Amino acid sequence: MSNLQLRVISAVVLAVVTLGLTWLGGLPFRLLCAAMTILIFYEWTRMCRPVAATGLGLLPEALLLVFVGALVAGLPASWLLLLVAVMVVVTVVVASMRQPSMRQAGQWDASGLAYAGISGLSLALLRDGDHSGLVAILFLFAVVWATDIAAYFVGRAVGGPKLAPSISPGKTQSGALGGAVGGVVAGLLLAAAAGAGNLAVLGVVALVLSLVSQAGDLFESWVKRRHNRKDSGTLIPGHGGVMDRVDGLVAAAFALYVIGWISATADHPAQGLFPA
């Protein structure tokens, strides 16, 4: 089986599973977010730890399990955000008391805990369990997936100056522009189909999400390049690791969560953008 066939099959399977759990919402979707949180941190540490041990023992993993348990249990946003802050602070403080050679590894672990934790809670709280949450997540998927697809095809067709050659040599400015346009169009089509009335506002939100998604992709590319890695992992056939597939999505999810929080509440952010 060719690499292209593997990519297509794995992409279809992932899309079906993700959309199915998104439709169900509630506990099934929180379990998906919890699994993604664990896998993101696992891949992060495999990329960023210079040696098998960090000098912190299993402390980061233990802290993450506490957070994941709280996420699955459906604790309020205030508790989840507090747990993320506690995970980061405890890891940084303990790392600062270790040998100098271990401190940087501990700092990378702290960054990974923040990255994985924020990713999981943003998606889980956006989805919530109501219709507004379903529309918000589908809107997010539409913008991010369309951005990726449009950026790829426009970049290949048009070419031109590179976007960030020192970080990701394959990305072009034309692809970034095409991705932004594609993301906005897809987001507006989804919003219109869902019966949203604030299309002008949502068009601006879609543009922000598209740009943040591309920035998230570049951030993960920078982390991989910083640690001399081509892929974040090998879990997904033909695609690499989980982080390789969700780097833009989790960045955009956090941006949409913050926007929704400003518009509504931290526990029900989707209701500010897609009122029932």
Lowest mean pLDDT among 12-16, 53-57, 63-67, 139-143: 53-57
Q: Mean pLDDT over all residues of the chain? A: 89
In this predicted structure, the answer to whether residue 52 has a pLDDT above a threshold of 80 is no
Chain-centroid distance of CA 120 in Å reads 8
Give the C-alpha separation, 251 to 222, whole Å: 14
Give the C-alpha separation, 227 to 124, whole Å: 30
- pLDDT range class, residue 100, cuts 50, 70, 90: low
The residue-averaged pLDDT of 139-149 equals: 96
Q: What integer pLDDT is reported at residue 231 of this predicted model? A: 75
Q: Render pLDDT for 186-201 as a digit per residue (tens, 0 to 9).
A: 999 999 999 998 899 9
CB contact at 8 A, 120 and 33: yes
Strands (E), the chain: 162-164, 168-172
Q: What integer pLDDT is reported at residue 254 of this predicted model? A: 97
Tokens of 215: 């920035």
Secondary structure element (H or E) that encloses residue 219, with its range: helix 199-226
In this predicted structure, the answer to whether residue 233 has a pLDDT above a threshold of 80 is no
> Looking up tokens 């919402």, which residue turns up?
25
The residue-averaged pLDDT of 132-158 equals: 95
Q: What integer pLDDT is reported at residue 36 of this predicted model? A: 95
Q: Render pLDDT for 210-221 as a digit per residue (tens, 0 to 9).
A: 999 999 999 998
Q: What integer pLDDT is reported at residue 275 of this predicted model? A: 87
- pLDDT range class, residue 105, cuts 50, 70, 90: confident
The residue-averaged pLDDT of 62-75 equals: 96
Tokens of 8: 């297509």
The residue-averaged pLDDT of 80-93 equals: 95
What's the pTM? 0.92
